[in-house]
Amino acid sequence: MTQRSKYKNILGLNRRNQEYIRPFNPPSAKRIADNKILTKKVLAKENIKTPEVYKLIRNKQQLKFIDWDSLPKSFVIKPNQGTGGNGIIVFYGKKKGQYAWIRPNGDIMTRNDIILHIENILDGRFSMGNRKDIAIIEERVKTAPLLKQYSYKGVPDIRVICFNGVPIMAMTRIPTKRSNGTANLHSGAICTGIDIATGITTYSMQMDTNSPFSDTYEDINTTQDLKENKILSGIHIPEWDSILEIALKCQRVSKLGYIGVDIALDAEHGPIVFELNARPGLGIQVANKAGLRWRLEKVKDVEVKNIKHGIRLAKSLFGGEVEESIETISGRKVVTIDEKVMVFHQNKTKKKEPEKESGRAFMDTGVLTSRMSETFANRVGFLATTQYFNSLNVPRKFNSIKEAQEYIDTHLKALTLEENIKRVAKIVDGEDVKVRPVVDIKVKISGEIKDIEVVIIENSDYHLIIGREVLKGYLIDTSKTFSN
């Protein structure tokens, strides 16, 4: 493939403007996206949540009569028609007994400082074309705990690009110390690609501030400036399907054919729409290491029946690369919660016996040592082992761990006499404590052959239950549940 044709999958600014924004985003729809107050009104019709507005300041006269005592301790000031996050100030708390509020970096702004900032907003300093503007004082979204741990103080948001009723690509923007708690990529926030099928994060980038050119990114794997930096790939974004559904609803109600929807996950209210973007940037391609152009062309002529159909299309067309991607980034394999595995036959003697047996395994981080059902153990060559253990007439249950340990201490020699029994383990099954044999098996999980230790248990819906000891090297994709 020539270098030129490789670039054919990428969407550039020229094509974005000519083929997608101009024909599919009518001026009336752009006006909605460019006006935050109008956006809130339009989205409210579809019951889509947006941050609650505390105050709207339309002129300097209104500014004089603000009741500062009625404001909560934390809030956000935004210009109604601002662009690129300019003019947005977040306040985290209030100084006791003073009219002074605290910003994410610890800076204090007094009432007079805030008044000056609002006056600048009203004068149009942050608005498109420097037009006179309105200042919005609104609720500060409190990030859901899962995403909060990756973010430096601010609110991470999720950008979903939709076209023709189909979610095309998504990323999350995570505030950093460098970005002063904002999710603005140009200020140094991290952007992380999201697999559209699973809602699992893939690659991460940060703009290279040392580069003389703007829009130059550097690959990163972890958060940058937290006390304990965390791996950014493999995060399962909560309420993923709801996020996609909300993004498509936003597209429908705004009538923007090509749209970028910014959604935050509020700890109390769930997905909450920050803003609609009629000219979403192209950096999302870098975060996902995938081109937008071929995806857009793929859905251009598709007749999408409804939102659910759009989501299904996106998942089947553009999803599924996450496993490969995460493996590349983190060096860890991805397994589904309900995985087909191959167990190698123990002590294979007859030629007729199969070399390995296929079985269903459940990935269970709730148990430490993996488990294997007795019937399956018999099939893979442990018949003599289970027969021997059952012949010992070990009590079926013990009342406490201590009682089970005492039994093991007394009967250890007999319990481990059979050659395959490595040791015996105390396991908790419901309210009962049981003593069961432990054996070594060779198993193939997600293409990888491993020697693992398993406890043979009496019965189970699954042939194998893979515990934490083995799962250390894996990422579990919980999106594929038992039904599919």
Partner 1 sequence: MDYTPFTQWIIEHGVPEKTLELFLAISIVATIVSLFRYFFGTKSFGIYAPILLAIAYSYTGLKYGLAVTLVVILGSLLSHLVLRKIRMHYITRIAINYCLLSVALITFMVVINRVGFGLENMSTVPPLALISIVALSDFFTKQFVQKSSKSSFTALFGTVLIATAGWFVITRDYISNYVINNLWLIPLLIFANLIIGQFKGLRLKDYFRFKSVIKENDTKK
Binding of residue 291 to partner 1 (CB under 8 A): yes
Tokens of 134: 């309105």
Binding of residue 19 to partner 1 (CB under 8 A): yes
Taking the least distance from each CB to partner 1, the nearer of 209 and 229 is 209
Owner of token pair 């559904």: 245
Taking the least distance from each CB to partner 1, the nearer of 40 and 293 is 293
Binding of residue 219 to partner 1 (CB under 8 A): yes
Binding of residue 290 to partner 1 (CB under 8 A): yes
Q: Minimum distance between the CB of residue 186 and partner 1, rounded to whole angstroms?
A: 6
Binding of residue 12 to partner 1 (CB under 8 A): yes
Q: List the one residue from 46, 225, 241, 324 that touches partner 1 (CB under 8 A).
A: 324
Binding of residue 10 to partner 1 (CB under 8 A): yes
Give alpha helix (H) positions in 302-422: 307-318, 322-330, 374-377, 383-391, 401-415
- Contact segment (CB under 8 A) with partner 1 among 201-209, 228-236, 249-257, 352-360 equals 201-209
Binding of residue 86 to partner 1 (CB under 8 A): yes
Tokens of 171: 């990323």
What H or E segment, with its residue span, contains residue 299?
Answer: helix 293-299
What phi-psi label fits residue 246: left (phi over 0), alpha (psi between -120 and 50 degrees) or beta? alpha
Residue 455, number of CB atoms within 10 A of its CB: 23
Q: List the one residue from 289, 298, 348, 379 that touches partner 1 (CB under 8 A).
A: 289
Binding of residue 112 to partner 1 (CB under 8 A): yes
The count of residues interacting with partner 1 (CB under 8 A) is 41
Q: List the one residue from 80, 223, 285, 336 that touches partner 1 (CB under 8 A).
A: 285
Q: Minimum distance between the CB of residue 219 and partner 1, rounded to whole angstroms?
A: 7
Q: List the one residue from 2, 27, 45, 213 that touches partner 1 (CB under 8 A).
A: 213
- Contact segment (CB under 8 A) with partner 1 among 69-77, 83-91, 237-245, 351-359 equals 83-91
For 16-68, give the DSSP string: IIIIIIHHHS-HHHHHHHT-HHHHHHHHHHTT---PPEEEEE-SHHHHHT--G
Taking the least distance from each CB to partner 1, the nearer of 329 and 335 is 329
Bridge partners (DSSP) listed for residue 174? 190
Residue numbers 113-142 binding partner 1 by CB under 8 A: 113, 116, 119-120, 123, 125-126
What H or E segment, with its residue span, contains residue 148?
Answer: helix 145-148
Binding of residue 221 to partner 1 (CB under 8 A): no
For 174-229, give the DSSP string: E--TTTTT---GGGT-EEEEE-TTT-BEEEEEEE-TTSSSSS-EEEESB-SSSSS-
Question: Cβ distance 122 to 132 under 8 Å?
Answer: yes
Q: How far is Cα 48 from Cα 84, in angstroms, rounded to an integer? A: 22
Q: List the one residue from 6, 132, 230, 300 that touches partner 1 (CB under 8 A).
A: 6
Q: Minimum distance between the CB of residue 177 and partner 1, rounded to whole angstroms?
A: 16
b/e per residue 13-23 (b: at least 16 CB within 10 A): eeebeebbbee
Burial class (CB in 10 A: 0-12, 13-18, 19+), 107: exposed
Q: Minimum distance between the CB of residue 316 and partner 1, rounded to whole angstroms?
A: 19
Bridge partners (DSSP) listed for residue 191? 173, 205
Give the binding site for partner 1 (CB under 8 A). 3, 6-7, 9-10, 12-15, 18-19, 84, 86-87, 112-113, 116, 119-120, 123, 125-126, 186-187, 203, 205, 209, 213-217, 219, 282, 285-286, 289-291, 324, 328
